[in-house]
Structure 1
């Protein structure tokens, strides 16, 4: 019987000057089924897989979900209708939305999906706003305003809520954004979605943009929420998401496994992981790894082995010193201590566990632990034979490798 470990044995410098939780409630919008599958390496999942993903999103406390861009083709439209009907019939807490360019022809299929299902779907109508995009498209700002307001008017007249989305918001000057935002709000948009479409923003830039937009909204006197939609081209997507929340964004967008165009979107799973570890949410995340694995399987997009939490190597070691410390910690303090001695993420809270394997940098503790876990009888001679053979390998041994050594050793001693 060993003493239970105390949390005091982990001194947490993160708590010295902690980031305060934002005053506003934190909502998350899952873009896996829209922006995520725009990854050139992703496969558009089957309807059955999409429904499984919706179930997992709901179990994780994700509040809203983008069902797709129904104007992009018959399959996309049929899937949006089927998913909206599933949400309705299940009585799901998920709030669906769908994407559309700022043209009535794109908004109309969303209206039709609502009419077919009786399920409200928020319209996310988008248009480029940066000078780079205006120059490339040969657009004039006033013609963009006209396109935006016409599409918003059409959706509002059909009784739908509208989120107005400006692509490349982070590289757009205030004069463009103010003109577009004021027009969208005047015509009934109840959300503005600020987009880091090309992953250009830094946390400082994110905070500046969100704060500026909040001030603009306050001047209008309307109750308009702000969303943050980030990409990861500079590897700053998670940091920017937290900066947006700190600055007052009401809802953060993300995709399972960080799927999306180029290097992808804010990883929804890592966002949830960090929100939980920071104490900003209390959701049950025991199915978080299942969510990532399902997205990987459904989109035929492999999980990198070193990917945080869900990657094969996240809680896996072959190093003798690490293995010995984990085993000693487990004996003295149980899983609580074992999960912290060489990890900053408690594996068991998210449905995983520490894994010790055998390789060229292993010690005898690795071998004994490996054999114990699999119920293989052993003596010192067998352990020594396995470790000696492991030292001749240039990689981690597979289960088949170790069992072959066990078999050979027993054959030789009989």
Structure 2
């Protein structure tokens, strides 16, 4: 544990505390973002969490134990996400058993989250999903997927007729068995309109009511995401068949968040994402960062005070460390050891309270998302860091002690841990004790 101080803490006395309360911090910010805004989604939209399906496909991820999966489902519900993919029942006996157990948990706890599963366009895979529905005792939305791009067809030796026939037989069978089917085309963002037109019309004709557009290798740009979503919505409208559009993005070019927002603005009805952005290769759209931005854009009304709990659980369950600089959840997201920054934060705390301090050196109000601003003592610190650190712990903060701790910290090449600073405080106390 590093030597850090969370707000709130004892406030440094300041004559400027007196007088009327300042204006809300938001009123002190000139927002250039409003000059050219991201178009607000024209439609209501939903989110589905793919951490327990695509997320655990990361080569570095651990398949969580059932207890961790159940806790994750509770947290996914707590942050207001509409649906959760429970995995692929066809992949192993354990996967099927876990899907059944999670389905029963959702029912027993009366959760409102919608469960879903994935399968290939193979009849045997769908039969396992039917088993999971029967054993779990509740409906499951089926996401049935097939490779769509010419690249994939060439690599596999598939023809478009083969893809269309396989999709038709699998979707038709699933619909006749009472499943709500979403049709997933892998590598959609690199597939031609001719291919997608054939496959989408086939899927809708067989009863699929959701078309999932996959940026499987993170190829898309925001312009490409918008174009693909709009084209798909026009195709659905031309069929006269009800259907919704979902977006599934990967982050190979670092554009997955921007693509998700672009897809929503273009009319996507649901976005798929994973906690911490885990998944194949460099991962998927990060659910936590997506929610953070949706909230700040005013597109998401649900309380997100447990969002940090969710990301910590994803990290713990999948044994994927949270990068120190990860937005919102990273260790460094709301902490500073720099003297100028710390001094300004302390003044802000004295003048306007926690909300003002939350906005001064951050575009993200930490408390709204379950985090706190933190002040550290280190090689870039000033006396204000040390004094605040000591006072917040009820320790003496006389000038001599503060100077000693600051000089010691500036000689180090990293930020000291809390116990190391406390050792320096104790050593100072002993030196000040009268002999005998």
**TM category, shorter:** over 0.9
Please state if 1:238 is matched with 2:271. no
The answer to whether structure 1 residue 257 and structure 2 residue 282 are counterparts is: no
1:40 aligned partner: 59
Q: Secondary structure at the match of 1:123?
A: strand
Cα distance, 1:178 vs structure 2: 0.5
Runs of 4+ in structure 1 off by over 3 angstroms are none
Q: Report the number of matched residues.
A: 414
Distance, in Å, in 2 between the alignment partners of 1:88 and 1:154 is: 26
Inter-partner Cα distance in structure 1 for 2:78 and 2:136? 23
1:113 aligned residue: 132
Q: Is the contact between residue 5 and residue 337 of structure 1 (CA under 8 Å) also seen in structure 2?
A: no
Cα drift, residue 89 of structure 1: 2.0
Q: Which of 14, 19, 22 is residue 4 of structure 1 equivalent to?
A: 22
Correspondences of 1:90-239 after superposition (within 5 Å): 90-239=109-258
Match for residue 4 of structure 2? Answer: none
So what's the TM-score if we normalise by structure 1? 0.99
User: Is the CA contact (8 Å cut-off) linking 1:5 and 1:336 kept in structure 2?
Assistant: no
| CA distance in 2: counterparts of 1:81 and 1:268, whole angstroms | 24
Q: RCO greater where, 1 or 2, for CA within 8 Å and sep 6 or more?
A: 2
What's the counterpart of residue 8 of structure 2? none
Does residue 1:24 correspond to 2:43, yes or no?
Answer: yes
1:286 and 1:306 mapped to 2: Cα distance? Answer: 20
**Correspondent of 1:390 among 405, 409, 427:** 409
| CA offset digits 1:81-114 (Å, max 9, x no partner) | 1111111222211111100000001111111111
SS in 2 for 1:165: strand
* Residues 257, 303 of structure 1: 8 Å contact kept: yes
Secondary structure of the structure 1 residue equivalent to 2:214:
strand
Normalising by structure 2, report the TM-score.
0.94
Q: 1:76 aligns with which of 95, 103, 109?
A: 95
Q: Which runs of 5+ in 2 are unaligned?
A: 1-17
Could you list the runs of 5+ residues in structure 1 that have no partner in the other structure?
none
Q: Secondary structure at the residue paired with 1:313?
A: coil
The Cα offsets for residues 4-34 of structure 1, whole Å up to 9 and x where unpaired, read as: 3323211111123322321211200100000
Match of 2:358 among 339, 351, 357: 339
CA distance in 2, matches of 1:55, 1:137: 40
**Distance of 2:371 and 2:33 partners within structure 1:** 24
